[in-house]
Amino acid sequence: MTLQVETTTKSNPNLQDQPSAVPDEFHTQHEKATSGPGSIPRPKAVDKRSRILWENLVPFVVFHALIPLAFFPYVFSWWGVAFLPIGNYLFCSLGIGAGYHRLLTHRGFQCPKWFEYTLATLGMCSLQDSPIRWALVHRIHHQHSDHQPDPHTPMAGVFWSHVGWMFVENRELDSAVMYDRYARDLLKDPYYFWMQRGGRWVLVYLAHALIITAIGFVFGWLQSNDLSTATRFGVQWFMWGVIYRTIFTWHVTAAINSAAHLWGYRNYETRENSRNNWLFGILTNGEGWHNNHHADPRSARHGHRWWELDLTYVTLCLCERIGIVWNVARPNRTQLERKSLVG
Ligand SMILES: [Zn+2]
Ligand SMILES: [Zn+2]
């Protein structure tokens, strides 16, 4: 994850300045749909020589090991439970869904830099890797969905697609050639490049954890004027506001790679097995309408039918109303009609 590549402007110097800076080929798959889980091997760049990515595996295991503490009276909090969907919306839907995904990966809308960086920084607080790495992996996923070398297709195994792929080195994802090919526009941005080097984006995650814990402590202190109560509030805010919220957002996001390529309905004929999964459509505030998304990746609107609630898109529309978001890519109805499976 500690990338040591240099930016290059050789092939397309204007890439960053274009509203649709993502080359069309990253939105196109060339192969036909595959059959089912286990039907293809893992990517070729994952083999016996691949090392275990302890830097991903250890936090994942440690965070999950803290789950039983949630049931102890000292830690349990209904307010904490209630915060999960709120934190999921704030850090994951705005940070990952709107920021990392619809904006940085697909350039589905435009906004001022300060707003783009705000969304990306919220994304870093979801501990789902750096903006550059996330976009790189996801662009490869779109180009090769459910085929080699899709980094996380359930066709190579359900567990693999959900979380397994994050724990084993995929040498292709670390090569400078791939970074140059799939993430050149983001590498040219000084903020993302700075965050990428030495894994600095992790410091953002740690800082936000500290801030949330401190707010909890101060809140408890103001309520009670008592150190032990303040400490308990700090612990609860840390556990629910950071740890459990992060676990929750990890799994709902990972489910888009696993469940939303296996279970659900299809509105469109696409060359992979993407599905509209209502459960994860709701839990991710729109990302789970994944078949719609694969049918029209540039569109910032993932919910296409009236019941496909897409709160992330609704948020973008509100931002558009107040003028901090513009050029929102809407579903291309002409192209989608050709792929439509519904009458
Ligand atoms: Zn997909
Ligand atoms: Zn996408």
Q: How far is the CA of 325 from the centre of ligand 2 (A)?
A: 19
Q: How far is the CA of 153 from the centre of ligand 2 (A)?
A: 13
Residue indicated by tokens 């850090």: 91
Farthest-apart Cα atoms in the chain, separation? 65
For residue 110, which phi and psi values (nearest 5 degrees)?
Answer: -120, 155
Which of 251, 268, 278, 312 lies closest to 102, judged by CA? 312
- pLDDT truncated to tens, each residue of the chain (343 aa)? 333 333 333 333 333 344 445 666 666 655 656 667 878 889 999 999 999 999 999 999 999 999 999 999 999 999 999 999 999 999 999 999 999 999 999 999 999 999 999 999 999 999 999 999 999 999 999 999 999 899 999 999 999 999 999 999 999 999 999 999 999 999 999 999 999 999 999 999 999 999 999 999 999 999 999 999 999 999 999 999 999 999 999 999 999 999 999 999 999 999 999 999 999 999 999 999 999 999 999 999 999 999 999 999 999 999 999 999 999 999 999 999 999 999 7
Q: How far is the CA of 141 from the centre of ligand 1 (A)?
A: 6
DSSP 260-306: GGTSSB-SB--SS---B-HHHHHHTTTTTBHHHHHHSTT-S----ST
Ligand nearest to the CA of 290: 1
Ligand nearest to the CA of 106: 2
Q: How far is the CA of 100 from the centre of ligand 1 (A)?
A: 15
Q: How far is the CA of 139 from the centre of ligand 1 (A)?
A: 10
Ligand nearest to the CA of 259: 1
- Alpha-carbon separation of residue 193 from 2, 177, 325, 329 (angstroms): 11, 16, 24, 26
- Residue 31: other Cβ atoms inside 10 A: 14
Q: How far is the CA of 78 from the centre of ligand 1 (A)?
A: 34
pLDDT score, position 32: 59
pLDDT score, position 37: 81
Residue indicated by tokens 């707003």: 115
Q: How far is the CA of 207 from the centre of ligand 2 (A)?
A: 28
Burial class, 18, CB count within 10 angstroms (exposed 0-12 / middle 13-18 / buried 19+): exposed
Helices (H), the chain: 54-65, 78-87, 113-124, 131-144, 158-162, 171-174, 176-187, 190-196, 201-224, 227-238, 245-257, 278-283, 290-295, 311-321, 333-339
The set of long-range contacts for 95-98, using a CB threshold of 8 Å and a minimum separation of 24, is: 95/119, 95/120, 95/121, 95/122, 95/123, 95/124, 95/125, 95/126, 96/123, 96/126, 96/128, 96/134, 96/249, 96/253, 97/284, 97/285, 97/286, 97/287, 97/312, 98/312, 98/315, 98/316
pLDDT score, position 74: 98
- Alpha-carbon separation of residue 221 from 183, 224, 237, 335 (angstroms): 46, 5, 13, 58
In b/e form, how buried is each residue of 296-311, taking b as 16+ CB within 10 angstroms? bbbbbbbbbeeebbbb
For residue 67, which phi and psi values (nearest 5 degrees)?
Answer: -60, -45
pLDDT score, position 29: 59
* Planar angle of CA 182, 184, 189, nearest 5 degrees: 135
Q: How far is the CA of 138 from the centre of ligand 2 (A)?
A: 6
- Residue 339: other Cβ atoms inside 10 A: 16
Ligand nearest to the CA of 101: 2
For the chain, give every domain's residue range: 40-339
pLDDT score, position 5: 37
Q: How far is the CA of 293 from the centre of ligand 2 (A)?
A: 7
Ligand nearest to the CA of 276: 1
Is 256 within 8 Å of 288 (Cβ atoms)?
Answer: yes
pTM: 0.90
**What's the distance, CA 121 to chain centroid?**
12
**Cα(147)–Cα(152) distance, rounded to whole angstroms?**
10
Helices (H), 8-73: 54-65
